[in-house]
Amino acid sequence: MEYRNLGKTDLNLSAITYGAFAIGGNMWGGNEQQDSIDAVHASLDHGVTSLDTAPFYGFGLSEELIGQAIKGKDRTKIQLLSKFGLVWDGSNNGKGEFFFDANDNGKTLPVYKYTAKANIIKEVEESLKRLGTDYLDLLQLHWPDATTPISETMEALESLIQQGKIRAAGVSNYSLDQLKEAEKSISLASNQLSYSMLNRAIEKDVIPYTIENNIGIIAYSPLERGLLTGKYFKDATLKSDDHRNGYFGQFDPEKVKSFLNAIEPLAISKNASLSQLVLRWTTLQPGITIVLAGARNATQAIDNAKAINISINNDELEFINKELAKL
């Protein structure tokens, strides 16, 4: 495994980091809890030391499962990354910015983006309890909240750092302008953003700024939630309540399939899976610090961790990029 410093902090994270959205089950067609715990264990056994989760994932279940998985392990060798700012239980009393209606076993839950100071403090305490720890290595704003001044949110994060509740503060889904505004109040460790072979918009403005200002980029959805594994062009299917039924609709399936067919021989030549080749390519892109990879069982987790061992030379990178340019 490769380990990389996150921005200007002393956090040394695994280049492939475990992404725990899917093990929450909600929006992903459910989950098998023991398989999820096994996936975390397998990740840790194969050099993945960093685990990224959020309260919203499974309405607390993802954090709880990670807490169970790391119980009894050396906490100093594990980096816990979580988030705040999505409220689904009504505790915001209508405050914040309405985001969308989530489905919890047939029950509709209105989700709000809410990043006021009092809510941040509340959410952190809840996350610490679910995770079974007394500090988070990185706390990240989950989605921007237009109803709360950025300065208020950042001041709350700075306070949590001073209290020792978090080691570093980051954001997610922040635009360039939002990053610049936040940096007036705090030195951010990172910005977690959607980034993949099929979604490279942040290369235009955000990545040049983060490189210049030494802010880490945490790339999420590098496999586009499984689309770039190629399995959904073969025999894999989705459950009816899996959000990817709609999510995949933004892509041209024939173009994606043709691209994957073009690069698959390269993966085979390296005795690697398509997903491993895609993950490794992502870790090699300028400005990308760490890459999140989800896994719902031990086999997937091991496959993800071993992606870091693939060697891709400049000619091979150029070949992949030329194929990408056809999309």
- Please report, for the domain that includes residue 107, its CATH number: 3.20.20.100
* Tens of pLDDT, residues 108-161: 999 999 999 999 999 999 999 999 999 999 999 999 999 999 999 999 999 999
How far from 143 is each of 99, 187, 268, CA to CA, in Å? 9, 18, 38
Q: Is 258 within the bounds of a domain? A: no
128 is in which domain, residue-wise? 3-229+276-312
Residue 61 is assigned to a structural domain of this protein: yes
Residues of the chain with pLDDT under 70: 25-31, 232-242, 245, 249
15, part of any domain: yes
Q: What are phi and psi of 272, to 5 degrees?
A: -125, 160
Mean pLDDT over the full length of the chain:
92
- At 290 the three-state DSSP class reads strand
Q: Within a domain: residue 301?
A: yes
Q: Output the CA angle 80-5-181, nearest 5 degrees.
A: 85
Tell me the two tokens of residue 42.
Answer: 């397998």
Say if 237 falls within a structural domain.
no
Question: Is residue 57 among the annotated active site residues?
Answer: yes
3-state secondary structure of 272: coil
Question: Does residue 35 form part of some domain?
Answer: yes
Q: Please, are residues 281 and 224 in contact by the beta-carbon 8 Å criterion?
A: no
Query: What element of type H or E holds 194?
Result: strand 190-194
Helix axes 274-283, 253-269, angle to 10 degrees: 90
Rounded-to-integer distance, Cα 193 and Cα 200, Å: 10
Active-site option among 3, 18, 57, 112: 57
Q: Specify if 50 maps to a domain.
A: yes
pLDDT at 74: 97
Residue 156: the pLDDT is: 97
| pLDDT at site 192 | 98
321 within domain boundaries: no
- Are 179 and 186 contacting, i.e. CB atoms less than 8 angstroms apart? no
Coil/strand/helix, residue 301: helix
pTM for the predicted model, two decimal places: 0.93
Structural domains counted in the chain: 1
Between vectors from CA 220 to CA 276 and to CA 134, what angle results, nearest 5°?
110
* Non-local CB neighbours of 237 within 8 Å, separated by 6+ positions: none
CA distance 39 to 97: 34
Q: What is the pLDDT of residue 23?
A: 84
How far apart, in Å, are the Cα atoms of 205 and each of 176, 200, 209, 271, 289? 7, 11, 7, 36, 16
